[in-house]
Amino acid sequence: MQIDVDLLFSWGAIAKEYKRNELVFVEDEVANFYYQIIEGCVRMFNSNDDGKEFTQGYFVVGQSFGEPPLFIDEKYPSTAVAFHDCKIIKLSKDKFLKIIDEYPAIQKQFLYLLAKRIYSKARTSNSIINQKPEFRILAFLSDHKKGNSNEKELVAFTRQEIANFTGLRVETVIRAFAKMKATNKIEIINHKIYF
Amino acid sequence: MQIDVDLLFSWGAIAKEYKRNELVFVEDEVANFYYQIIEGCVRMFNSNDDGKEFTQGYFVVGQSFGEPPLFIDEKYPSTAVAFHDCKIIKLSKDKFLKIIDEYPAIQKQFLYLLAKRIYSKARTSNSIINQKPEFRILAFLSDHKKGNSNEKELVAFTRQEIANFTGLRVETVIRAFAKMKATNKIEIINHKIYF
DNA sequence: CGGTTCCTTGAGGATGATCAACGAGGGTGG
DNA sequence: CCACCCTCGTTGATCATCCTCAAGGAACCG
């Protein structure tokens, strides 16, 4: 949990519902709100001219997103959309920055959070740029694995979503999966992937 | 300037000199120090199996680098090397974290710094993944332009360095530059690039 | 059971990587 | 001052890989 929900409400935050695929904010828009997910899952992405999308990240229950621009007075570098139906807390930028100032413990939490984000962005951009499709996909799968046991678990992303995250095309992802199945790196049962 | 130099020294920091190409820290090493540049320039990068390098970023005088792992108790995701001869202040992790705790203003500065880094990492990874060579290079050039005037200025990176940053190969960079010259996006005088 | 979304396969093509060889400039030491 | 070396830039030819396009099949849901 990022900021205590009751605290947020006491500062005037409101909860808003978003249907699947509804936009939360759009690239190049001015950043005016702090967002924290109560229910559902949010995807951040960029589109290029051809309509090809690149997923910057997924955010789930309890996580906040789109904060960096609030601190540095920048526009949103990406678009955020409800990946599933969502309930999201919204608080104005001013109030959010005041909370940060008034509660040193919260400020510190955000420092750690941003440090984590940079760390993982450094790792993903490295694996995406330097490596072959199979490697990129494996990096994605490892990062998004819930348990860290050896047991294989269901991958809850479509091949298209994995393609968007790894900067590949669906067909390439599918073909890579075929190879990975052959080498026992994953299992595919009934079109579902287990890793 | 990140943290006041005198303050750092008063907390027991030392200044160390690094020759060009000398390593400051290495990928996967445990993070034990805070580093701040007094003189010179540092490059952070990853190498993959083929020896191909991907540059995560350049850091110049007055900037600190390699802090995120200090906050979250992780190993370094990349290697740092002196790009030119350097003088760098080094402070132990413990003392650094104490400074962060004792001076709220400094803590806040780091929050802003990390926010900026995330913002620019989001932008670069997008332009690198989604786009054609020429576009990637233009993004790099814009990001590293000092003045924001329209006047063309000398690009102080070799073609190899630009290739490492954009995830391309030298030859591809050179060929892209040839096209960009033809379309007047850059000038090349005596092998030097002006953008 | 009809529609939508997702998955799959094949063929062909474009693009950037690779390999090899050479040119140009700048600095250093004899 | 010149010869050499080392780094950086350049060019062409060839290759591998991933993208593109097209078509169809499977699963799922109301």
What is the tens place of the pLDDT at every residue in B9-28? 999 999 999 998 999 999 99
Say which of B52, B78, B114 has its CB closest to residue A115: B114
Å between B134 CA and D8 C1'?
A: 21
Contacts of B67 in chain A (CB under 8 A): 115
B104-113: long-range contacts, CB 8 A cutoff, minimum separation 24: B104/A104, B104/A107, B106/B3, B107/A104, B107/A107, B107/A108, B107/A111, B108/A107, B109/B2, B110/A111, B110/B67, B111/A71, B111/A100, B111/A107, B111/A110, B111/A111, B111/A114, B112/A71, B112/A72, B113/B2, B113/B64
Strand D contact at CB of residue B15, distance < 7 A: no
B103 and A CB contact within 8 Å: no
- Tell whether the model's pLDDT for residue B147 goes beyond 80: no
C-alpha to C-alpha distance for A166 and B61, rounded to whole angstroms: 34
Q: Position A102: which residue type?
A: E
Q: Which two tokens stand for residue B158?
A: 């070799």
C-alpha to C-alpha distance for B22 and B10, rounded to whole angstroms: 27
What is chain B's mean pLDDT, rounded? Answer: 94
Q: B40 in the Ramachandran plot: left (φ > 0), alpha (ψ -120 to 50) or beta? A: left
Strand partners, B130: none
Strand partners, B82: B42
Which nucleotide is nearest, taking the CA of residue B170 and each C1'? Answer: D9
Any residues with CB less than 8 A from the CB of A103 and at least 6 apart, and which? Answer: none
Q: Where are the alpha helices (DSSP H) in B40-153?
A: 68-72, 93-102, 104-130, 133-143
Residues of A numbered 5-44 whose beta carbons fall under 8 angstroms of chain B's beta carbons: which are they? none
SS3 content of chain A, % helix, strand, coil (to 5): 40, 25, 30
pLDDT single digits (tens) A69-107: 999 999 999 999 999 999 999 999 999 999 999 999 999
pLDDT single digits (tens) B75-132: 999 999 999 999 999 999 999 999 999 999 999 999 999 999 999 999 999 999 988 9
Å between A16 CA and C9 C1'?
A: 44
Say which of B104, B111, B122 has its CB closest to residue A78: B122
Instruction: Give the global pTM.
Output: 0.94
The minimum CA-CA distance between B189 and chain A, rounded to whole Å, is 31
- Tell whether the model's pLDDT for residue B36 goes beyond 90: yes
pLDDT single digits (tens) A2-54: 899 999 999 999 999 999 999 999 999 999 999 999 999 999 999 988 889 99
The minimum CA-CA distance between B95 and chain A, rounded to whole Å, is 16
Structure-derived torsion over alpha carbons of residues A20, A24, A28, A33, reported in degrees to the nearest 10: -160
Q: Which two tokens stand for residue A49?
A: 């001219």
- Tell whether the model's pLDDT for residue B187 goes beyond 90: yes
Residue B7's CB: how many other CB atoms inside 10 A?
13
Among A49, A55, A111, pick the best mutation site for testing chain B contact (most B Cβ within 10 A). Answer: A111
B134 and A CB contact within 8 Å: no
Contact B122 A121 (CB under 8 A): yes
Q: Position A81: which residue type?
A: V
